[in-house]
Homo-oligomer: A and B are copies of this chain.
Amino acid sequence: MNEVIRLLTNHRSFRQYTGQAVEPEKLKTIIEAAQAAPSWVNGQQVSIIAVRSEERKQQLSVLSGNQKHVAEAPVFLVFCMDFHRAKLAAELEDQPFEAAGDVDALLVGAADVGIALSNAVAAAESLGLGIIPIGGVRRHTAEVIELLQLPEYVFPVAGLCIGYPAEELPKKPRLPMEAVYHEEVYNQDQKGLIEAYNKTHRESLKAQGLTERDWSSTIARFYALNPQYGDAGRTLPQQGFTCDNLNKE
């Protein structure tokens, strides 16, 4: 197993950090790694806002659903999908720009964010840092957009806490590969695999002294409680992601 595989397969998400600051040169390396990732048509539809201000981190912590690690991490990166530069390119070239109104733009932007974020995660971990991605930045996006002064065609997709980890954590087990990986065509028959995973999931929690819980219970309850997670339905169109071609028949 090479060093890259060892790192990728050893990922854990840390919520507790020492007081040690993240060195500026390490942060720069993390951003370079994020930028080096592939993107849709090399459009680089991602922007990253680094937040270090205690006050702004505190606000983002509350807006993300009172996740205190957002305030406590020395650096909080907000990864945004970004078609602002595509719009500027259109202006420079005197071309029309309507692509942000395509529902496909959401898939492009969020996937580009995921690709870049994942590189940032691996880079940070390789430098001895611990991270946790924060989807909570999508809970109150109207406020996040205002706080970070995001212009039209820019939308926050995920945050990333970065710091030196101050806890030991076991790796979380994942679904059996057969549930996620398919050959040639999709195999829908996954209930037995989920039940097998429930067992692994409970055992992993028990080994940590935590309340045993099925994965299916955790996920089912989360989505039952959050049939709509945040305010994106209102703020995406306001930012220019109007999904004009979405057929709601």
Residues of A within 8 A of B (CB): 1-5, 7-11, 13, 28-29, 31-38, 40-44, 46-53, 56, 80, 82, 84-86, 88-93, 95-99, 101-104, 106-119, 121-123, 125-127, 132-133, 135, 138, 147-151, 154, 157-158, 171-172, 174-175, 177, 179-186, 188, 190-191, 194-195, 214-224, 226-230, 232-234, 236-237, 242-249
Contacts and interface: CB of A to CB of B under 8 A. Distances in A.
A219 to B, nearest CB: 4
A2 B44 contact: no
A223 B32 CA distance: 26
Contacts of A234: 245, 247
Contact of A11 (B38, B43, B106, B249): B38
A183 B56 CA distance: 11
A194 B16 CA distance: 38
A246 B247 contact: no
21 contacts: A3-B126, A5-B123, A13-B38, A31-B177, A34-B180, A41-B135, A42-B215, A49-B184, A52-B184, A88-B190, A88-B191, A89-B216, A93-B217, A101-B227, A103-B106, A104-B228, A108-B135, A114-B118, A148-B185, A232-B245, A233-B244
Contacts of A119: 8, 118, 122
Contacts of A237: 246-249
A99 B226 contact: yes
Contacts of A244: 233
- Determine which residue in A84, A114, A180 has the highest number of CB atoms from chain B within 10 A of its CB, and name it: A114
Given A111-B110, A172-B42, A97 B224 contact: yes
A95 B132 CA distance: 28
Contact of A103 (B4, B171, B188, B236): B236
B180 A35 contact: yes
B233 A242 contact: no
B2 A126 contact: yes
A159 to B, nearest CB: 12
Ranked nearest first, the 5 interchain pairs of A and B with the lowest CB-CB distance are A114-B114, A233-B245, A118-B118, A4-B126, A110-B110
A27 to B, nearest CB: 9
A56 B184 contact: yes
A138 to B, nearest CB: 6
